[in-house]
Amino acid sequence: MKICNIRTENGIHLCVETVKGLADLTKYGFVYDTYEVIAGKGIGELKNLAARDDLPLVSDPVYAPILRRPGKVVCVGFNYPKHAKGAGYKVPDHPWLFPKFSDAIVAANTDVTLPPYETSYDYEAELVVIMGKTAWNVKKEDALSYVFGYTCGNDLSCRDAQMLTTQFMIGKCFPGFGPCGPLIVTADSYDPTRKHIQSYVNGELRQDGYTDEMFFKVDELIEFITRYMRLEPGDLIFTGTPSGVELEHKVGEKNYLKPGDRVDVVIEGLGTLTNYMI
């Protein structure tokens, strides 16, 4: 099942993808928002609506963020061996974690502001996990049962700022630097293994990999993360990026993002996340 949030003249509405396209659930008396659905409310009704082929469709949807304000946005660094090697790092012995803040999360097809006092802006196509249950000290074999769904993400980064300190955080936390979407695909209908993941800048292919290249898989990441922090429904995990980002290129050959660029993240089964740099 695929769901998303859209902006309307009456506020943000939850939509479900039917066999014919997106349907605005508010028009059918569906009273729950995304967070309530993640918590398990209205799931049966939602599945019934998704199976119908007679619902009027939303044309030209204006996407809203997949979640208003996630409590935690946890990101994983150098989780694809080719990317780690290309950036001059060894594959870590354990996941390298850093945060983004909730104002990083913006919708598909929206503009992302690149502040003019920095220049080393980079893209990172990533599979994003949306947690569905409170998870604390979860074991690997149980980890995927805590996942509500998956979406596309772009871990936008300012490389110069990222390298200023021993932590990557300040290069990752600009407002709007965590686009996600456009849809959430629920875990019961999506297997995150061996999915094609790509990024394009202005239509030019930059990254081209598969999710099974991840050194630490989704279940291993959840096990590790929940040893040290409690994840709640709606929290997000950016799982790392494949090779092909500008960080990996030699000095003088880096083609960093600039205002006017369009970035597309494409993940098999999840769709295309498009954002525009301004």
Q: Are residues 39 and 78 in the same domain?
A: no
Residues 35 and 132: beta-carbon distance below 8 Å: no
The angle at the Cα of 47, spanning 44 to 50, to the nearest 5 degrees, equals: 155
Determine, yes or no, domain membership for 65. Answer: no
Helix spans in the chain (H): 34-38, 43-50, 81-86, 140-143, 159-162, 218-228
> What is the per-residue pLDDT for 167?
79
d(CA 179, CA 29): 29
Q: Are residues 28 and 80 in the same domain?
A: no
Q: Are residues 41 and 146 in the same domain?
A: no
> What is the per-residue pLDDT for 3?
97
Residues 175 and 112: beta-carbon distance below 8 Å: no
For 109, half-sphere exposure in the C-beta direction (CA atoms, 13 angstrom radius) is: 11
Determine, yes or no, domain membership for 59. Answer: no
Question: In the numeric block, which tokens belong to residue 25?
Answer: 């659930």
> What is the per-residue pLDDT for 250?
87
Q: What is the DSSP code string of 106-139?
A: --TT-EE---TT---EE--EEEEEEE-S-BSS--
Residues 176 and 112: beta-carbon distance below 8 Å: yes
> What is the per-residue pLDDT for 166?
75
> What is the per-residue pLDDT for 58?
94
Residues spanned by the domain of 113: 73-277
What 3-state class would DSSP assign to 47? helix
> What is the per-residue pLDDT for 169?
87
How many structural domains is the chain composed of? 2
Q: Are residues 117 and 35 in the same domain?
A: no
> What is the per-residue pLDDT for 185?
98
> What is the per-residue pLDDT for 98?
95
d(CA 30, CA 50): 12
Q: Are residues 11 and 127 in the same domain?
A: no
The CA-based dihedral angle spanning residues 102, 123, 261, 66, taken in that order and rounded to the nearest 10 degrees:
-30
Q: Are residues 187 and 89 in the same domain?
A: yes
Q: Are residues 195 and 122 in the same domain?
A: yes
Q: Are residues 98 and 208 in the same domain?
A: yes
Which mean pLDDT values do the consecutive 10-residue runs of the chain (278 residues) have?
Answer: 95 94 90 94 93 90 95 96 91 93 97 96 98 98 98 96 84 96 97 97 98 97 98 98 95 94 98 98
